[in-house]
Amino acid sequence: MKRMSTILVVILLAGTLPGLAAAQQLFDFFGMANLPAAEGGSLSMFGVIRDGGAAVATPLPLDFANYEYTIVVEDLVLVTDDYPETYAGGTITIYRDASSTADYAATGTFSDGTAVLSGVVSSLELFHYSDLVPSATGGSGIGTVDWTGGARLDEIAPGDQDGWGFFTATNSGSGLLEPGYDEVWDGKVEPATPIVGTERMSWGAVKAMY
């Protein structure tokens, strides 16, 4: 039995242990949104995920050199048309696509390719400051995303898949607004804390941490 315990210890020593958390991680996006006219209507947003390079790490490693990554929010239902507006029940998907360049005049160019991550926008509040100060064109949004599917969902530990923050600036008066859309959105989707990547680490290195 003692020999068995020793073998178990050896297996533990040779095992893979998680390393330290990375720096700040988020999906930074820029897109165009259309808002519903009344309660019960749905919101949609089509955007492109920025390559933050060394400056801004994405929660999952993305290959921006060879692929375009787009983000689509759809069917987000306006529950309360008040200040703030409250939404629920929408879907969110991040696509990877090597074959097309996203074009706001053809929303299908945002939702083609492989769904890297998909999930639900379980809640969203939009603050349109023009409701309070008529001259204001800006706004902000804050919501919650739970990832439930996609080709790379399994790269996120189950405990890290829910409760991501969705934060955005909105602007109906921006010169960047594309025809046919109501607002420019500049935002991000991010885990509450950086996802801890799995790194191989020797037992000695683990001990050295303490």
- Number of other CB atoms surrounding residue 39 within 10 Å: 13
- Reply yes or no: is the peptide bond before residue 194 cis, omega within 30 of 0: no
113-142 burial, b at 16+ Cβ within 10 Å, e below that, comes to bebbbbbbbbbbbbebeeeeeeeebbbebe
Residue 179 interacting with other proteins (CB under 8 A): no
Binding mask 90-119 for other proteins (x = CB under 8 A): ------------------------------
Nearer to other proteins, 1 or 54 (CB): 54
Give the range of 6-14, 70-78, 91-99, 190-198 binding other proteins by CB under 8 A: 190-198
Nearer to other proteins, 1 or 105 (CB): 105
Give the range of 3-11, 104-112, 127-135, 199-207 binding other proteins by CB under 8 A: 127-135
Out of 36, 89, 138, 149, the only residue in the binding site for other proteins (CB under 8 A) is: 138
Percent composition of the chain: helix, strand, coil (DSSP 3-state, to 5) = 15, 40, 45
